[in-house]
């Protein structure tokens, strides 16, 4: 069993309230959950308006599959958000 995790930091300069941020986070998480078989949630900086930190995890049988799945999710998020991905931390166990 291989657990793949990633922490994605997104900068969204147009967000000026927590309500706006919440809408963005909910939208991204719902789209990712519907398209991929991964767990995703906001994991840090919940009170900072312009910074979204998402954590995702997947459980698979092979390291290559976990790496590929994380790549696909990252590409999907990049295509479906106007924010800039400023940091990505990956871990495969």
d(CA 11, CA 49): 9
What tokens were used for 80? 């479906």
Domain that holds residue 16: 2-92
pLDDT above 90 covers what percent of the chain?
90
pLDDT digits (tens, 9 = 90+) for 37-81: 999 999 998 999 999 999 999 999 999 999 999 999 999 999 998
Domains contained in the chain, number: 1
* CATH for 27: 3.30.70.1120
Model-wide pTM > 0.85: yes
Number of alpha helices (DSSP H) and beta strands (DSSP E) in the chain: 2, 4
């Amino acid at each position: 069993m291989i657990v793949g995790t990633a922490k994605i930091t997104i900068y969204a300069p147009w967000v000026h309230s927590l309500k706006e941020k919440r809408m963005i986070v909910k939208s991204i998480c719902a789209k990712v959950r519907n398209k991929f078989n991964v767990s995703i949630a906001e994991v840090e900086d919940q009170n900072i308006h312009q910074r979204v930190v998402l954590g995702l995890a997947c459980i698979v049988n092979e390291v290559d599959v976990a790496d590929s799945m994380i790549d696909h999710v990252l590409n999907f998020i990049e295509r479906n958000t106007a924010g800039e991905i400023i940091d990505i931390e990956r871990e495969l166990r």
